[in-house]
Amino acid sequence: MFVLSGRACNGSGPHDPSSFSGTPVKAAAAVTGYEMKRFEKVYSDAKTPGERDTWCKGEYPVFSGGAAASSINRMVAAWIADSTALSPGDGYSGPRTPEALAGHFLKVYEKDRQETGMSMPYQFELSGAVLLNGTKLLTMQLSSYAYTGGAHGMHMTTCFVFDAATGRRLVIDDVFVPGFKDRLNALIEARFREERGLAASDRLDGEKGGLFENRIAFTTNFAMTPSGVVFLYNPYEIASYAAGQTEIELHYGELKGLLKPEYLDVHRDQVP
């Protein structure tokens, strides 16, 4: 479980789906208590054991502490069931917990293997992390790696910012002032150019920039962390798969006049 680093980075492989680096956040220090829940299912092909096994494993935070925690837990479980490779599709009537869906993932592989004679394994890994736990905000991320055929697996990370008192997930319009878009985009482009060593006249879709278009704008996949607001772009969103995930971090001091005042001090709103 790692805090967002705020740097552009590449996917790190199937055994480490989270591409973030930094200091672990200790569950014992949380205002809203939580524990990391783990699951693992393995389908072993006796002919090619070991790394060619099909497996489905992961860990994710489960919160405690009242109605807000229950609301967050429901949203996390629903996201895992609906927005990852664990999604069971139409016709599934079993439990939608990550543990049950891991077993279903292996059953789908076994069925596909018998019907098509394929030899490549299916693999899925989920990694969750709590990035900020305070009285105002709770921020977490869920990162997944999935391979179910094709040229390569796929990494994806989604960030969640919750109102710690109600459990409601906050969207970008909840935390930024009206009319923020153009000013925020300018800050994001300036930070991207700085990190890539691009002059103001260099194209963002050139060799050094590596983007699909000659522009970069804010994404709704954002995290409020102890040091700032991080905007995360998954592979294929603004650049190629080979470019990996891209992170842009803006510190709270840079966001005065853009963030709503009540969120400018969230870096102080943590239990030590």
Give the Cβ contact number of residue 261 at 10 Å: 9
CA atoms of 161 and 4, how far apart (whole Å): 13
CA atoms of 165 and 14, how far apart (whole Å): 35
CA atoms of 256 and 258, how far apart (whole Å): 5
Q: Which residues contact 192 (CB under 8 A, 6 or more apart)?
A: 198, 204, 209, 216, 246, 248
Average pLDDT over residues 44-71: 83
* Per-residue confidence band for 7, with pLDDT thresholds at 50, 70 and 90: very low
Q: Which residue has the higher pLDDT, 10 or 129?
A: 129
Whether the per-residue pLDDT at 25 is higher than 80: the answer is no
Of all helices (H) and strands (E), which one includes residue 145? strand 137-147
Per-residue confidence (pLDDT) for residue 256, from 0 to 100:
96
Whether the per-residue pLDDT at 12 is higher than 60: the answer is no
Share the mean pLDDT of the chain: 86
Span 94-148, pLDDT tens digits: 999 999 999 999 999 999 999 998 888 999 999 999 999 988 899 999 999 999 9
Q: Which residue has the higher pLDDT, 146 or 149?
A: 146
Of 11-15, 157-161, 256-260, which gets the smallest average pLDDT?
11-15
Dihedral pair phi/psi, residue 216, rounded to 5°:
-140, 135
Percent of the chain with pLDDT over 90: 73
CA atoms of 152 and 156, how far apart (whole Å): 13
Per-residue confidence (pLDDT) for residue 267, from 0 to 100:
67
Per-residue confidence (pLDDT) for residue 203, from 0 to 100:
98
Per-residue confidence (pLDDT) for residue 134, from 0 to 100:
87
Per-residue confidence (pLDDT) for residue 118, from 0 to 100:
83
Per-residue confidence (pLDDT) for residue 53, from 0 to 100:
86
Residue with tokens 């591409």, as numbered in its chain: 19
Decide if 263 contacts 137 (C-beta within 8 A). yes
Identify the structural domains of the chain with CATH numbers, from first to last.
27-268 (3.30.565.40)
* Per-residue confidence band for 17, with pLDDT thresholds at 50, 70 and 90: very low
